Structure 1
Amino acid sequence: MSSSQSNLTAFAGFRRIAAGPRAEVIALLRARADEPPAFVFDDSTGEQLDLDLRESANVVSESAKHDEQAARGVGRPKLGVVAREVTLLPRHWDWLSRQPGGASVALRRLIDEARRVHADRDAERAAREATYRFMTAIAGDLPGFEEAARALFAGDRARFEELVAPWPEDVRLHLHKLAATAWSVS
């Protein structure tokens, strides 16, 4: 999901003040510009974002995107293919050279297969990492933070929920939302 399509959640202190599609959250934050700044998080990654809330920000970011695409050039940009470096041992290159379609086709096929086979595990790991990023940024000083982080990565849902139970309600609810996928496979 690209950053322009992602859902965001904004907090003022420990209180959730906005949540939803990026454009809607930005509009709400612009409307409250005279109030203390909000902490904004990307729901898919848990990362704290530093948004430029000026009305002209969208124009600037679009031109920056165009400059970045023009500078890229290598690969097949119109198809979304970007050339990057891969470091392999000689035996890996030998094996790849014997594959039908060449190295790129073989690598894409291997990656697609690994993504399919490990999708649940990868989603669980991503949910834990997103939860941890959010938790660190907003709740790092709250009592039981370190133990809650240990429980999160240990996959101990009951212990995690017990430790975050006394935390502010909006923080706790957002943690449960972010961590939902982290518990589904365990």
Structure 2
Amino acid sequence: MSQPMYIAFQGDQRIAEGDLRTVARLVKQAADTADGAILVFNAQTSQPIEIDLRGKVEDVLSRLPSTSSAAPADAEEPSEAPRRGPGRPKLGVVAREITLLPRHWDWLAMQPGGASVAIRKLVEDARKVHGARDRKRSAREAAYRFASVMAGNRPHYEDAIRALFADDQARFAQLTDTWPVDVRDHARRLSDQAFNES
């Protein structure tokens, strides 16, 4: 799996884009040299990312989430081995709870390989059949999430969002034309993935 990418804006201007460590370093430098709120997003999902900017650059980098593949190289290993739970962690299998009606559990119990195998097959089949639709929906939601934060008070925002959800790329481009360049370009990049997903 590729490393997540991030994007940061100070006001309407894009100030950084790249892996989390790179973005955090540039955000810290910008925060130390200029005024203005800085917002950081996952560049694909538009989920906001909180970066604690207290202290020096090294302090900021040391506090980045360890779940990112951008964890500090000198991070200490846990003193004890992590507790192993159910599942097959070496294969990436993770145990989680799901809730089903009794008739669903009855059906799963009759499947070859048991409930886990049957559920994995159902999920893989659904991913094959609905994968393009799911990617398009995710891209549309990411574009909407970003535009809501960065352009929610801009001219034609509501009409642009209607065009996004109506799958009208030309109208979306037209309505976002007056937005600040960096905001407009990123919103269009996100929406392109929704409009062009086959």
Q: TM-score range by the shorter chain?
A: 0.7 to 0.9
Residue 106 of structure 1: aligned partner: 118
Structure-1 separation of matches of 2:131 and 2:165 = 18
SS of 1:99's equivalent?
coil
Structure-1 separation of matches of 2:28 and 2:40 = 13
Report deviation, 1:38: 1.4
Report deviation, 1:71: 7.1
Structure-2 separation of matches of 1:95 and 1:72 = 30
* Residues 5-84 of structure 1 mapped to structure 2, 5 A cutoff: 5-34=3-32, 35-36=34-35, 37-53=37-53, 54=55, 55-60=58-63, 61-62=65-66, 70=82, 73-84=85-96
Residue 157 of structure 2: aligned partner: 145
Q: Counterpart of 2:59 in structure 1: which amino acid?
A: S
CA, structure 1 residues 168+58, in 2 after alignment: closer, same or farther (shift >3 Å)? closer
Residue 70 of structure 2: aligned partner: none
Report deviation, 1:59: 4.1
Residue 163 of structure 1: aligned partner: 175
Q: Counterpart of 1:27 in structure 2: which amino acid?
A: R
Higher share of residues assigned helix? 1
Q: Counterpart of 1:7 in structure 2: which amino acid?
A: M
Structure-1 separation of matches of 2:84 and 2:154 = 44
Matched, 1:178 2:169: no
* Residues 121-132 of structure 1 mapped to structure 2, 5 A cutoff: 121-132=133-144
Structure-2 separation of matches of 1:139 and 1:148 = 10
Structure-1 separation of matches of 2:123 and 2:61 = 34
CA, structure 1 residues 74+56, in 2 after alignment: closer, same or farther (shift >3 Å)? farther
Q: Could you tell me whether the CA contact under 8 Å between 1:42 and 1:48 is conserved in 2?
A: yes
Q: Counterpart of 1:15 in structure 2: which amino acid?
A: Q
Percent identity reads: 50
Q: Could you tell me whether the CA contact under 8 Å between 1:8 and 1:41 is conserved in 2?
A: yes
Runs of at least 5 residues in structure 2 that lack an aligned partner in the other structure: 67-74
Report deviation, 1:83: 2.2
Report deviation, 1:57: 4.6
SS of 1:82's equivalent?
coil
Count how many residue pairs are aligned between Structure 1 and Structure 2.
Answer: 182
Could you say what the CA RMSD is over the residues aligned between the two structures, in angstroms?
Answer: 2.5
Structure-1 separation of matches of 2:19 and 2:156 = 31
Q: Could you tell me whether the CA contact under 8 Å between 2:8 and 2:41 is conserved in 1?
A: yes
Normalised by the length of structure 1, the TM-score is 0.85
